[in-house]
Amino acid sequence: MPVRARPISPHLKIYRWQIGNTLSIMHRLTGVGLSIGFLALTYWFVAMAGDPQGYGFAAHLFGTPVGLIAMLAWSFAFFYHLLNGVRHLFWDAGYGFGRSERHASGWLAVAGALLLTLGAWTLLWHFGRL
Amino acid sequence: MTLRSPLRQAVGLGSAKSGTAHWWAQRVSAVALVPLALWFIFSLLLLPNLDYATARAWLQVPTTGFLAILLVGVIAYHSYLGTVVIVEDYAHEEGFKVLGLLLLRFVHVLAAGAAIFAILRVAFGT
């Protein structure tokens, strides 16, 4: 049996940049970000089980400029990963593979994530919780 | 000429090996996370503030504690499955890869254990 060159994945360096692969990379990046966010969430629960001083320190950390930027990034990552994840689930069920459907659902995930992030922070700001 | 069958030459070469089980678990945990994560976000947004007393009182409600434990468990599982694929994709050196996979497993179990134990401590007030 002749040995043939096995098929390989499209190589990132020569892959033409477009919305499909950009959103795919974003899905992976936001996933990694949310995994780190899981550690922050764990820290929050552990601080809650401890004394008020420790919890106050945790609350202080989340309220610093770096903490707030991280929370903003995590909220966008969450909404994007959620919407794009649902997009993936539709694909897994066999729907939405057409060119126009792929593009429309992709832009919908990005726009939806931006809107939901904006909405959540507007709510927090509106009720004076920032 | 070799007497080995084409099947024998192909078995074990693919990258998937036990791919479908991992793939399916990733999807099942994703589906579970949709309602759990949305509940968590909106539940927090509805609180008047997140100070010590408010946060603890919120977590002491039995439904909250129960859902929070489920959330932490499913997040840890989903996050573990996802990050494992990333290490498998990018860590080409075998020793480095095994170390990465081991580290991921320990970190996820450790974080999930700590978070769940903390939730139980708040819920049962010790």
pLDDT tens readout for residues A52-77: 999 999 999 999 999 999 999 999 99
The Cα–Cα gap between A71 and A2 comes to 55
Q: Which residues of chain B lie closer than 8 angstroms to A92, CB-CB?
A: 27
Place of tokens 């700001």: A125
B109 inside 8 A of chain A by CB: no
- Which whole number is the average pLDDT over B22-36? 96
The Cα–Cα gap between A72 and A83 comes to 17
Measured between CA atoms, how close is A76 to chain B, in angstroms? 12
Token pair in block for residue B37: 């994560």
CB contact under 8 A, B79 and A34: yes
Q: What is the pLDDT of residue A121?
A: 94
Per-residue DSSP letter, B126 = -
CB of A56 closer than 8 Å to CB of B52: yes
Q: What is the pLDDT of residue B126?
A: 63
- Which whole number is the average pLDDT over B103-124? 97
CB contact under 8 A, B118 and A46: yes
CB of A38 closer than 8 Å to CB of B79: yes
- Which whole number is the average pLDDT over B34-39? 97
By Cβ distance, the residue of B38, B51, B111 closest to A42 is B111
pLDDT at B16 over 60: no
A40 inside 8 A of chain B by CB: no
Query: Which of the two residues, A86 and B3, has the higher pLDDT score?
Result: A86
Q: What is the pLDDT of residue A8?
A: 76
The DSSP-derived string for chain A is: -PPPPPP-PPPGGGSPP-HHHHHHHHHHHHHHHHHHHHHHHHHHHHHHHS-HHHHHHHHHHHHSHHHHHHHHHHHHHHHHHHHHHHHHHHHHTT---SHHHHHHHHHHHHHHHHHHHHHHHHHHHHTT--
Counting Cα atoms < 13 Å in the Cβ hemisphere of A114 gives 5
By Cβ distance, the residue of A1, A35, A41 closest to B82 is A35
